[in-house]
Structure 1
Amino acid sequence: MSALNDLALTVEEREPGRFYWVLLEAVHDTGSTADTLGYRPLRVAAQPQPSYSSALALGTAALKKLATTATHPDAGGSA
Structure 2
Amino acid sequence: MQDKVLICIQCNSAFVFTVDEQEHFLSMGFDPPRRCPSCRKNKFKESEIKSRKNNKYKKKHFRIKYDEDLDD
What is the TM-score of this pair, normalised by structure 2? Answer: 0.34
Which entry has the higher C-alpha Rg, 1 or 2? 2
Point out the structure with the larger strand share: 1
Highest RCO, 1 vs 2 (Cα 8 Å, sep ≥ 6)? 1
